[in-house]
Amino acid sequence: MEKNQDIIKEKKKKVRITDVIFTSIFTLSFIIQIILMFLFFNELNIIILVYIGYVIWVFSLYFGLISFWTFKKRGGVEKGKSYMHTTKVVERGPYAIIRHPQYLGGILFSTSITFWTQIWLSLILSIIIIILTYQWTFVEDKNLIDKFGEDYKRYKQKVPRLNLILGLIKYIKHK
């Protein structure tokens, strides 16, 4: 376990310029999209899209927020420590459906803003956010394999990365 922690610490020290650029683009896209949410609402005047946006937003809250609570409760986190200090692979709650529910929550939130604003710029920013978030899940999987080893590899075989529909089918099938 200590060896895995040393490997993770060593990898964290190596900050690549591409990581800084992608993180900056992501952050800027997200901030602009939130600003657009306040400036443009229902621009095409298609109210059904607004309602769809609210439904997507509710799912974004579930996957985005409940994930942190589940980590804290089920991840073997010591009292007083952050959810980031999990000591075991969490396979319950939203983690039984997809491997990266907090990332899906962010994608869904960005998508909901696009439905609310109904402008092209928001759609473009959403696409950028989705692509960058999806790319980060690969990095996250690699880091989690380094941290948890075979336990995470087994989990990875059972639960899809971000595919909510496939995750629900697999979850229902195994229940």
Q: What is the CATH number of the domain that holds 167?
A: 1.20.120
Q: Are 8 and 146 in contact (CB under 8 A)?
A: yes
Q: Closest by alpha carbon to 87, among 4, 9, 157?
A: 4
Count up the domains in the chain and report the number.
1
Least Cα distance to 95 among 123, 117, 73, 121 occurs for 73
Q: Along the 175 residues of the chain, how does pLDDT read in single tens digits? A: 555 555 555 555 567 888 889 999 999 999 999 999 999 999 999 999 999 999 999 999 999 888 888 888 888 888 888 777 888 999 998 999 999 999 999 999 999 999 999 999 999 999 999 999 999 999 999 999 999 999 999 999 999 999 999 999 999 988 7
Q: What's the CA gap between 112 and 55, in Å, rounded?
A: 8
Residues 6+ apart with CB under 8 A from 43: 117, 118, 119
Q: Report the alpha-carbon distance of residue 93 to residue 70 in Å, rounded.
A: 7
Cα–Cα distance for residue pair 79/23, rounded to 1 Å = 31
Domain span including residue 34: 2-174
The answer to whether the beta carbons of residues 114 and 54 sit under 8 Å apart is no
- The span from the CA of 153 to the CA of 58, in Å, is 30
CA angle 95, 115, 22 (to 5 degrees): 60
CB 156 within 8 A of CB 141: yes
